[in-house]
Amino acid sequence: MTALPEVSRTPRPGPSAPREYHFPRFERRKLANGMQLVVARVPKLPLATVVVLVDGGAVCDAEGYEGTAQLTAKMLLEGTERYDGAELAERIETLGASIEAGADWDAAAITMTTLVEHLSDAFDLLGEVVLSPAFSGRELERLKAERLAELLQLQAEPRGLADELFTKLLYAPGSRYARPEGGDEASVERINRQVIVDFYQARYLAGGTTVVVAGDITTERAEALVNQAFGKWEGRAPERVLADTRPARTERAVHLVVKSDAPQSELRIGHVGIPRNHPDFFPVNVMNALLGGLFNSRINLNLREAHAYTYGAFSGFEWRRQAGPFMVHTAVKSDITDAAARETLFEVDRIRAEAVTPDELSLATSYLTGVFPIRFETTTAIAAALSVLTLHGLPEDYYDRYRDNVASITVEKVLAAARKYLDPSALQMVVVGDPNIVRAPLEAMRFGPLLMYDTQGKPLT
């Protein structure tokens, strides 16, 4: 150690007076064709983000045709009646606009960000993308091949594989949630052009669609642009589709996915959680922040800073319209996989056993309230927040009341949330790792029966 230089140091400062912040004001309009419009004026820079939110998420996939929702959304950018895919990309990008189309569990979304000087032209192209897709057979075959490549890649990618297999093993086999969001090999191969066209006609309807606009634009102008680009669109809102959220098993089990010679184990521990639009969202969210949501959460301080088992360990609820997974995720050196699992279980038990301290609680609540304005610096983030509002039917003043709701959480509410929404007896553990190193120690934990799988998720005997 070199000699320490003498330094003059200044005392730790406190905060100055805070300045008020409001989530951007937004307006809602209903258009003549039944479309909803949400506009937030954000005049900071000459930009706008537009999200077209369609009730065509992966939960709408027919059984055996999983992946239809994602392929349909992606096909929108692969050509329209006027332009083929390459020409379309060139036209949009020459405006400097970025455009993406995809589907998650709950909705299909086409998201576009552009400088406002090009907004009118970009809107016209967006309308064309959504209203007049060509659904070229050749482009569909190409996108299917790309999905199959993705599935193939997953087999050698422990991180993604662990996430995908955890979800698959968590839900009852018949549930849409038990199959990959983008479909598996068999279902993707089965999808043909007619399947896509049928899905599009059934789900892509004006009445079930919301357009969110955030940026340097007035509501009047946004409404005019939407009318110009989408005015001729028709159709009433389609019926909402729900997924079966029952778990695959009610008792604990270890699911070991064989990845021989892996230098690390990818570890996932969790169970079925709660839907996004749940009355206890706030206590659960604060509880999770303390358990494993923050860098200074119990799980990360334990596994990373105290034990150096990992580069990071976190927990989270995946928020969907229906109960998505609650999951702890980390990657640990193979030979301490059991120890890391044990420490994780210890933290789940501990947060259910006794109340957190007021000091600990205030870390989570002051973080969540303080960071609130920082979450909404961009038009993309504001449009996404308004999409969440729409998608989950949250109250219009949700973002105005967010910080008060967080601040109202007490240590008692955290304890109650942990006891009610964390269930140690239902936990499933997925490990992608080297069985020669991890199998015997995991069995010795007596967590539950140990089942083995290959990297495609097929059981091994």
Partner 1 sequence: MRIPIETFRLQNGLFVSLSEDHTAPIVAVNLWYHVGSANEPPGRTGFAHLFEHMLFQGSADVQANEHFELVQRAGGTLNGSTWLERTNYFETLPSNQLELALWLEANRMGALLPAMTQQKLDTQRDVVKNERRWSMDNQPYGSWLEKLPALCFPSEHPFHHSLMGSMEDLTAASLDDVGQFFATFYTPDNAVLSIAGDFDPGNARRLVERHFGPIARGGHKPALPDMSLPPVFGQWKREVVPDDVMLPRLFLAFRSPAFGTAAYYPASVCGAILGLRNGSRLKRRLVREREVAAETTAFTFDLAKGSDLLVVDVTARPGVPAEQLEQEVALEIDALVRDGVTDAEVKRAVALIQTMFVSGMQEAGERADKLSMFATYFGDPNLLNEEVDRYRAVTAEQVNAFIAERLGENNRASLVYVPREEEPAELVGSGAAAEQR
Restricting to residues 72-101, name those near partner 1 by CB under 8 A: 77, 85-86, 89-90, 92-98
- What end-to-end distance do the CA atoms of the chain give, in Å? 56
- DSSP for 94-120, written as a single string: HTT-EEEEEE-SS-EEEEEEEEGGGHH
Specify the residue, 5 or 279, whose C-beta has the smaller distance to partner 1. 5
Fill in the amino acid letter for 407: A
Contacting residue, 374, 425, 446, 459, with partner 1 by CB under 8 A: 374
Specify the residue, 92 or 269, whose C-beta has the smaller distance to partner 1. 92
Contacting residue, 27, 104, 124, 157, with partner 1 by CB under 8 A: 157
Residue positions counted in the chain? 461
Specify the residue, 17 or 444, whose C-beta has the smaller distance to partner 1. 17
222: left (phi over 0), alpha (psi -120 to 50) or beta: alpha
- # of chain residues touching partner 1 (CB under 8 A): 84
- CA atoms in the 13 A half-sphere facing the CB of 116: 17
CA–centroid distance for 418 within its chain? 22
Q: Is position 285 an interface residue for partner 1 (rule: CB under 8 A)?
A: no
**Distance in angstroms (rounded) separating the CA atoms of residues 361 and 378:** 29
How near is the Cβ of 215 to partner 1 at its closest, in Å? 10
How near is the Cβ of 153 to partner 1 at its closest, in Å? 5
435 backbone dihedrals φ, ψ, rounded to 5°: -60, -30
Closest CA to 460 of 170, 221, 182, 260: 260
How near is the Cβ of 164 to partner 1 at its closest, in Å? 14
Specify the residue, 8 or 461, whose C-beta has the smaller distance to partner 1. 8
Q: Is position 149 an interface residue for partner 1 (rule: CB under 8 A)?
A: yes
**Distance in angstroms (rounded) separating the CA atoms of residues 253 and 271:** 11
Contacting residue, 82, 132, 137, 156, with partner 1 by CB under 8 A: 156
At what angle are helices 358-370 and 411-421 packed, to 10 degrees?
90
How near is the Cβ of 20 to partner 1 at its closest, in Å? 7
Q: Is position 115 an interface residue for partner 1 (rule: CB under 8 A)?
A: yes
Specify the residue, 18 or 459, whose C-beta has the smaller distance to partner 1. 18
Contacting residue, 62, 363, 445, 452, with partner 1 by CB under 8 A: 363
Specify the residue, 248 or 381, whose C-beta has the smaller distance to partner 1. 381
**Token pair for 347:** 């933290």
Let me know the angle formed at the C-alpha of 451 by 447 and 455, rounded to the nearest 5 degrees: 125
**Distance in angstroms (rounded) separating the CA atoms of residues 355 and 344:** 18
Q: Exposed, middle or buried, 313 (CB in 10 Å: 0-12/13-18/19+)?
A: buried
Q: Is position 456 an interface residue for partner 1 (rule: CB under 8 A)?
A: no
Helix (H, G, I), strand (E, B) or coil at 385: helix
**Distance in angstroms (rounded) separating the CA atoms of residues 164 and 184:** 11
Stretch 178-237 residues interacting with partner 1 (CB under 8 A):
none
Element housing 315 (H / E): strand 310-317
**Distance in angstroms (rounded) separating the CA atoms of residues 99 and 108:** 13
Contacting residue, 29, 190, 221, 333, with partner 1 by CB under 8 A: 333
Specify the residue, 1 or 444, whose C-beta has the smaller distance to partner 1. 1
Closest CA to 222 of 442, 449, 427, 383: 383
Contacting residue, 108, 331, 409, 427, with partner 1 by CB under 8 A: 331
Specify the residue, 89 or 197, whose C-beta has the smaller distance to partner 1. 89
Stretch 15-44 residues interacting with partner 1 (CB under 8 A):
15-21, 44
Specify the residue, 48 or 272, whose C-beta has the smaller distance to partner 1. 48
Contacting residue, 168, 203, 304, 413, with partner 1 by CB under 8 A: 304
Specify the residue, 176 or 298, whose C-beta has the smaller distance to partner 1. 298
The residue range among 244-252, 314-322, 328-336, 436-444 that interacts with partner 1, by the rule CB under 8 A, is 328-336
**Distance in angstroms (rounded) separating the CA atoms of residues 9 and 425:** 52
Helix (H, G, I), strand (E, B) or coil at 291: helix
Contacting residue, 248, 301, 355, 451, with partner 1 by CB under 8 A: 301
What is residue 44's DSSP assignment? S
Contacting residue, 62, 134, 148, 426, with partner 1 by CB under 8 A: 148
Closest CA to 101 of 141, 49, 53: 53
The residue range among 198-206, 217-225, 239-247, 302-310 that interacts with partner 1, by the rule CB under 8 A, is 302-310
Contacting residue, 339, 372, 388, 411, with partner 1 by CB under 8 A: 372
How near is the Cβ of 50 to partner 1 at its closest, in Å? 13
Q: Is position 159 an interface residue for partner 1 (rule: CB under 8 A)?
A: yes
Q: Is position 308 an interface residue for partner 1 (rule: CB under 8 A)?
A: yes
